Structure 1
Amino acid sequence: MTSSGAARHDFRTVSSEDVHVGKILALRVDEVEMPGGGTAKREIVEHTGAVAVVAVDEQGRVTLVHQYRHALGRHLWELPAGLLDHEGEPPVVGARRELAEEVGLAAEHWHVLVDVAASPGFTDEVVRVFLARELSEVDRDVQGEEEADLEVHRFDIAEAVRMVLSGEIVNASSVAGLLAAREVIEGRVEPRPADAPFRDKPTRFIARKK
């Protein structure tokens, strides 16, 4: 355990090698200076980052999508979400776009609920989850075959939280976002502004496209 006055080690990267650079992520191997004086290799997945939306209607229902996820080999109940793959675009703008494209909704009021680091032991992916209220319907612009397969359904927030706790919802940003939304809806906490600072927003993969 580090004492309050002790200097922290600077985990300096002494070398870095790209293993794969794809459409939405890259894999690199960094050699990092360790506190004992040696170095260690760390495999890092760079990601664009993403946004997700807890869209709550006047009846207190949240919109979820049932979407196929090939990594797990099955359909999952998740929040509407999408990549932060437009350089310079504010996250809330991306969230508005994804909400319209995936479920055909717009919202008047936006707040930040949580920022979720997907698995910081090996990836810089962080998802910003928004709370959207005062909903209205808009034309849905289906972007591809995966979105055409989406099933959209509204659940009472209590039922959505039950699905989280029963293991029916396992997507990390959906789990965190729904639990946080319940705290806000029931008046126990205040959400952050829609333009709140996003300290851990991924930037390295997007910078490769310049």
Structure 2
Amino acid sequence: MADHTRPVIEETTGASAKVADAPESWPVERSEERYRGAKCGMRTDWVEMPGANGDGRTVAARDYMDHPGAAAIVALDDQGRVLVQRQYRHPTRHTLWELPAGLIDGEGEGPLATARRELVEESSLRAATWHKLPDFFPSTGFSNERIHVFLARDLSEVPAEEIDFVREHEETDLAAEWLPLPEAVRAVLEGRLHNGATVIGILAAHAASQDGFASLPAASDD
């Protein structure tokens, strides 16, 4: 009898195999940094582009936010619950329930190392098992920011004396909740969660849970 409880993942062939993002960089005539702040900058590139109707080439200015990238963590405990934390986000004028996350701004630090660090700093947790969930560009027309999302399992608490980090500003008001993964999915679909990494991470983790996470690649900074 066929098992209808799990999705069938078929091999990608034919035209659908062509649908995959790929690195590419058009020539930049010149580039100018307009602003540099603590977390990101603003830059204008003058990019060589095809002319109208394919007639020659032209140069167009493109403004964008220059961002170091970020890592977000779907921390799943042994009861199948995902950790979400409430934090004030001033640009949106909202308090948002989000996954633990942070900027990839440590010296020589890759996305996985950032994820491990942020899980300790924001949640006082470590994870023995890490898998890679889909990464994404949250605003491709405006920013080069890339957010890497990880699934963290086999969690354990970190003793307070081992945490060399002091929360400040918005992080002093963090509140935490553990939601069963199906309830977290419901919160996304009902429009109660709006943070991009949280929405993508929860839906991806739920999809991956259907085969016990067997299809997920192990996380690595290599």
Q: Same fold (TM over 0.5)?
A: yes
Query: Residue 191 of structure 1 corresponds to which residue in structure 2?
Result: 216
1:58 to 72, 78, 95: 78
Taking the aligned partners of 1:161 and 1:68, their CA distance within structure 2 comes to: 22
* Count, aligned residues: 190
Q: CA deviation at 1:143?
A: 2.4
**3-state SS in 2 of match to 1:38:** strand
**3-state SS in 2 of match to 1:71:** helix
Which consecutive segments of 4 or more residues in structure 1 shift more than 6 A?
none
The answer to whether the Cα contact below 8 Å between 1:12 and 1:32 also exists between their aligned partners in 2 is yes
Structure-2 change in CA distance of 1:33 and 1:149 (3 Å): same
Q: Give unpaired runs (5+ residues) of structure 1.
A: 198-210
Superposition RMSD in Å: 1.8
1:174 to 170, 194, 198: 198
The answer to whether the Cα contact below 8 Å between 1:112 and 1:196 also exists between their aligned partners in 2 is no
Q: Give unpaired runs (5+ residues) of structure 2.
A: 1-17, 19-23, 52-56
The answer to whether the Cα contact below 8 Å between 1:56 and 1:62 also exists between their aligned partners in 2 is yes
Taking the aligned partners of 1:99 and 1:188, their CA distance within structure 2 comes to: 22
1:122 to 139, 142, 154: 142
Query: Residue 146 of structure 1 corresponds to which residue in structure 2?
Result: 170
The answer to whether the Cα contact below 8 Å between 1:102 and 1:142 also exists between their aligned partners in 2 is no
Q: CA deviation at 1:146?
A: 1.5
Structure-2 change in CA distance of 1:61 and 1:125 (3 Å): same
Q: Structure 2-normalised TM-score? A: 0.81
Q: CA deviation at 1:145?
A: 2.5
Query: Residue 26 of structure 1 corresponds to which residue in structure 2?
Result: 41
Q: Percent identity of the aligned residues?
A: 45
Q: CA deviation at 1:188?
A: 7.1
Query: Residue 68 of structure 1 corresponds to which residue in structure 2?
Result: 88
The answer to whether the Cα contact below 8 Å between 2:110 and 2:221 also exists between their aligned partners in 1 is no
Q: CA deviation at 1:32?
A: 0.8
Taking the aligned partners of 2:50 and 2:190, their CA distance within structure 1 comes to: 41
Q: Does 1:157 align with 2:181?
A: yes
Q: Structure 1-normalised TM-score? A: 0.85
